[in-house]
A and B are shown apart, each in its own frame.
Chain A
Amino acid sequence: MSALALLFRRELALAWSGGGGPLLALGFYATIIGLLPFAGPPPERLAGVASGIVWVILALATLLSIERMFERDFEDGALDLLMLGRTPTEAVAAVKCLAHWIAVGVPLALAAPLAAISLGAAPAMAPMILATGLAGGLAFAFVGGLGAALAIGSRRGGLIIAVIVLPLLTPAVLFGGDALYALGVGAPWQSGLLLLIAYALAAAAVCPFAAAAACRNAAS
């Protein structure tokens, strides 16, 4: 088996074992969604913003589990081993982010339409919520991975990652929210979705390089 496939399988196994990353993220997601109706707005007003809200909470739920991505390998010394293989550290970072998207981002994206509909969004919005959830989740995983690499070795890494990463996610939230809003009012939604996909692909192309540099800095 190639080294990258080996790493990918390990990352998936680590995401699912011990603490159950995806289940925890889904639980967090469900809890916040469940709290929202109690916050006071009349149901019809909540229904109007439901699709946008579930989308922003998706970003938070992704960040919740991304903190350990590099930190656990740094703590137990496995990061040294990962950086001493034939595989470039950039590829290691990319595989880690991709595995996180598969393990956590995709389940969250699948849950997002359900969450939105339960808050009162029109069922016709479901495919768009899923599409923006998948593309946005890819961006969250890669930008979040960069944040996780920058926060290696710091206590309270989760908060640092949120502070670093959330501003960088502004374009993704903007584009995805635009696509959802446009579909809701019957305007053309294609540009928003395409810009979101473009942002996600750009993040996937750039972030592994920055994350690898952050890993090298942490190992020195």
Chain B
Amino acid sequence: MISRLAVEDLAIERGERRLFAHLGLELAGGEAVALTGANGAGKTSLLRAIAGFIRPVCGQIGFAGPRGPLDADEARRSDLHLVGHQDGLKSGRIAREELLFQAGWTGASEAAALAAAERLGLGRVLRLAVRHLSAGQRRRLALARLIASPRSLWLLDEPLAPLDSQHRALFGELMAAHLDGGGLVLAAVHDPLPIAARTVELGA
């Protein structure tokens, strides 16, 4: 279980352009960080680097559990959720099928997945095709796997952007519960998170 994320002296380049360098970031269990910065400052790239998709030019990304450092690849595959701009939902498939696949793929049972959808207020839209959902409903469907399959580190890219105020508050409660359980949240945002969070600004 990941209980600490440490980013040291990180530099990332995308297409010959250096997004940032000498970035340090520490995140401990129970803590949330709101990652801010202008468009193109490298918020998404930082999240993808932590998830292991982008190889940094230099610097280290380390994961630690209660009993010491963890193997990064193993920690990423078993204890990390990444919900990006793209929700990974197939528009031609039924919402319920996609929910069960996304949640099941990350280790959740069918019952847990359906309960998570219920919690996010999706009970009535699960029988619809994904292409008939609104942007907010699609996002909640993608977020449901966070609730269905417990993983410690949540990497969220603009998680609240398409949500209405009622569901922003609801997702705030779910994030708070996750933090209470010792989880970690790192979210790239433009609007403030609905929970107490430390702010780290990229490109400041």
Bound pair (A, B): yes
CB < 8 Å neighbour of A72 from B78, B84, B90: B90
Could you tell me if A81 and B88 are in contact, using CB atoms closer than 8 angstroms? yes
Stretch with Cβ within 8 A of A (4 or more), from B23-31, B49-57, B120-128: B49-57
Could you tell me if B104 and A86 are in contact, using CB atoms closer than 8 angstroms? no
A219 contacts the other chain (CB 8 A): yes
Could you tell me if A78 and B88 are in contact, using CB atoms closer than 8 angstroms? yes
Tally the A-B contacts, defined by beta carbons under 8 Å. Answer: 69
State whether A81 and B105 are in contact (beta carbons under 8 Å apart), knowing that A86-B77, A86-B78, A220-B55 are contacts in the complex. yes
A177-213 contact mask (Cβ, 8 Å, vs B): 1 or 0: 0000000000000000000000000000000000000
Could you tell me if A77 and B97 are in contact, using CB atoms closer than 8 angstroms? no
The majority secondary structure among interface residues of chain B is: loop
Could you tell me if A76 and B86 are in contact, using CB atoms closer than 8 angstroms? yes
Contacts of B85 in A (CB 8 A): 77
Contacts of A40 in B (CB 8 A): none
- For B55, give the chain A residue with the smallest CB separation: A220
Could you tell me if A84 and B88 are in contact, using CB atoms closer than 8 angstroms? no
What are 15 sample pairs from A and B whose C-beta atoms fall under 8 A apart?
Answer: A3-B107, A6-B105, A7-B105, A17-B92, A72-B90, A76-B88, A76-B89, A80-B82, A81-B88, A81-B105, A84-B81, A84-B106, A85-B106, A86-B107, A216-B53
Query: Which positions in B face A, CB cutoff 8 Å?
Result: 48, 51, 53-55, 76-78, 80-82, 84-93, 97, 101-102, 104-107
